Amino acid sequence: MTKRKLVPALYTLFVQDLLPERFALLGVSRSSLTDTDFRSKMKKAIHEFKEIEDNDKIDEFIKQLYYTSVLLDDAASYETLKQRLEQLRAALNIRGNTIFYLSTPPSLYGTIPLHLALVGLNKQEDGWKRVIIEKPFGYDLESALILRDKLLKDWDEDQLFRIDHYLGKETVQNLMVTRFANGTFEPLWNRNYINHVEITSSESIGIENRGGYYDTSGALRDMVQNHLLHVAGITAMESPSSMEPTAIRNEILKVFQSLRPIRKEDVKNHAIRGQYTAATMNGEKLIGYREEDGVNPDSDTETYAALKFYIDNWRWGGVPFYIRTGKRLPTRVTEVVIHFKPTPHFLFAQKTAAKSCNYLIIRIQPDEGLLLKFTMKTPGSGFEVQDVNMDFHYSDLNDQRIPSAYERLIHDSMKGDATLFARTEEVIEAWKFLSPVIDCWKNDKTIPLFGYPVGTWGPEVADDLIEDKEMTWRYPCRNLSKDGIYCEL
Ligand code: BG6
């Protein structure tokens, strides 16, 4: 993480003059490294993972990197950290503004802030002190509440920045602009015109080398509890009173508070889980989830999750929302699809049985953009009709670079702008909402875990979640289990 994402993102900020004039970046871990060792490791990492084509400033940046060895679960070690920070501040003449970025196992999220506070590193007299943590913020509702209490004992909410890197994605933020800067979409954005909303985040990769983590997590905790519920929150929120962080986060929170609880007896019909099994994808033989390193061979952890839910408020009453995510699906795509209601009376002959509906696809990645599907006349005699697209691709703005989520989020945390970070209440509401599903999947052995061959779109029964029986999920490309069929997005 430090090598791949954080240091390259900081370098990119440095190149754009977005870091303070005087700063120090202190690497901290158990390993015993010198400043020089750390610098040379990070220099290599920047060359490999940098997000901007500018090598001229690497040496200048690297000079600001330092390293100190600290046992993060040992309170006594934190005096060493404090001294090193004080010494750097004095030598470089920098103020006390400090961000502690916890790129660590989640088991340390309670411990590190506590130990920092014990040596007074949470005190803000000489400048602000902030803690950034990555998800998972807890493992379930109970552990999330414990973590919340631990963190809030010594730190104020506005010192805590919980990274949800999806919120840092340019296209997720653009969802708000699409909705609230245009007069065309907003009047239609409600139960009167929208049939259902679909949010898909599919990945073609498996669990990479993260078997140990993933097997205790699963798709629901890894993607839905945080990233995808937030995307749903932004899709469904009311217009905030301003672009102030609190105003925006209040609206997202209200959506979470309006999520209709899924009753235990309904879990079967509202949530589908799956796990990938061995198959050939694009000509390559791929192993199943249970054969992956670090995974229990009898594991019933889901690598696919699909969910149907409702938001009980005036805007969305009765409109089903669907979320689906999975590993080893045919392609990498994240998109929100707004399915508008069909016309009340369809006059034209259609080639397909599917109802004619307009839909708006907000493509979060890749090929970021917006696409509106609508029906047009096929040229020629009669009134044959066909679906056509009107689209915008971010890549058309070719003089604009899309910053990485980490670059944006680290910069925001330095500015103290918490808009794109998850607030305690949001995290807790999201766990509350998913608790019945988590409990049933754990304890109710009658709920099936469906196998799906790698390269397919997950369990076929997930289509049954869609209420309107003439519709299915949107499939941006065909299955890849049969060799040689590539995706057309
Ligand atoms: C992470 C999950 O939070 O998000 C990963 O832990 C997942 O399992 C990743 O692969 C997806 O992020 P992105 O930005 O590639 O969609």
- For ligand 1, atom 4, name the residue with the nearest CA: 223
Which phi and psi angles does 92 have, rounded to 5°? Answer: -100, 0
Given a cut of 70, whether residue 489 has pLDDT beyond it is: no
- For ligand 1, atom 8, name the residue with the nearest CA: 222
Given a cut of 90, whether residue 147 has pLDDT beyond it is: yes
Decide: 222 in ligand 1 pocket, CB within 6 A.
Answer: yes
Nearest to 29 by CA among 4, 57, 59, 1: 1
Averaged over 413-430, what is the pLDDT?
92
Window from 26-40, 209-223, 400-414, 444-458 with minimum mean pLDDT:
400-414
Looking at residue 356, its pLDDT comes to 62
3-state helix, strand, coil split of the chain in percent (to 5) is 35, 20, 45
Nearest to 474 by CA among 307, 360, 366: 360
Judged by phi (left if over 0) then psi (alpha if -120 to 50, else beta), residue 260 lies in beta
Window from 10-14, 256-260, 266-270, 371-375 with minimum mean pLDDT:
371-375
Both ends of the chain: CA-CA distance in Å? 29
Looking at residue 484, its pLDDT comes to 42
Given a cut of 70, whether residue 56 has pLDDT beyond it is: yes
Averaged over 193-207, what is the pLDDT?
95
Express each pLDDT in 129-143 by its tens digit.
999 998 889 999 999
Q: Decide: helix, strand or coil at residue 330.
A: coil
Decide: 203 in ligand 1 pocket, CB within 6 A.
Answer: yes
Averaged over 40-51, what is the pLDDT?
89
Averaged over 99-110, what is the pLDDT?
91
- For ligand 1, atom 6, name the residue with the nearest CA: 222
Contact 454, 292 (CB under 8 A): no
Higher pLDDT, 10 or 356: 10
Given a cut of 60, whether residue 38 has pLDDT beyond it is: yes
DSSP strand pairing (271-277 vs 449-453): parallel
Given a cut of 80, whether residue 99 has pLDDT beyond it is: yes
- Local confidence band at 419 (pLDDT 50, 70, 90 cut-offs): confident
Window from 76-90, 170-184, 340-354, 448-462 with minimum mean pLDDT:
340-354
Give the residue, out of 227, 229, 332, 364, with the most ligand 1 atoms within 8 A of its beta carbon, to mutate for a pocket test: 227
Decide: 429 in ligand 1 pocket, CB within 6 A.
Answer: no
Rounded to the nearest angstrom, the gap between the alpha carbon of residue 385 and the centroid of all alpha carbons in its chain is 38
Which pair of tokens denotes residue 151? 């963190």
Looking at residue 10, its pLDDT comes to 95
Rg (CA), the chain: 24
Given a cut of 60, whether residue 481 has pLDDT beyond it is: no
pTM, entire model: 0.90
What's the Cα-to-Cα distance from 320 to each of 241, 441, 486, rounded to whole Å? Answer: 26, 22, 31
- Determine the distance separating the centroid of ligand 1 and the alpha carbon of 382, expressed in angstroms: 49
Given a cut of 90, whether residue 344 has pLDDT beyond it is: no
User: Which among 115, 196, 227, 270 is annotated as catalytic?
Assistant: 227
Given a cut of 50, whether residue 488 has pLDDT beyond it is: no
From the alpha carbon of 207, which atom of ligand 1 is closest?
Answer: 8
Looking at residue 353, its pLDDT comes to 43
Window from 57-61, 302-306, 313-317 with minimum mean pLDDT:
57-61
Contact 92, 129 (CB under 8 A): no
**Cα angle, residue 215 at apex, residues 212 and 218 outer, rounded to 5°:** 135
Q: Taking all residues of the chain, what is their mean pLDDT, rounded to a whole number?
A: 90
Side-chain-facing half-sphere of 265: CA atoms under 13 Å: 0
Higher pLDDT, 192 or 401: 192
Judged by phi (left if over 0) then psi (alpha if -120 to 50, else beta), residue 204 lies in alpha
Looking at residue 486, its pLDDT comes to 46
> Across 231-235, 240-244, 360-364, 416-420, which has the greatest mean pLDDT?
231-235
Is the bond into 366 cis (omega within 30 degrees of 0)? yes
Given a cut of 60, whether residue 283 has pLDDT beyond it is: yes
Q: Is 115 a catalytic residue?
A: no
Higher pLDDT, 487 or 206: 206
Averaged over 362-391, what is the pLDDT?
87
Q: What percent of the chain has pLDDT over 90?
A: 68
Rounded to the nearest angstrom, the gap between the alpha carbon of residue 422 and the centroid of all alpha carbons in its chain is 11
Contact 336, 473 (CB under 8 A): no
Higher pLDDT, 391 or 306: 306
From the alpha carbon of 201, which atom of ligand 1 is closest?
Answer: 16
Contact 328, 205 (CB under 8 A): yes
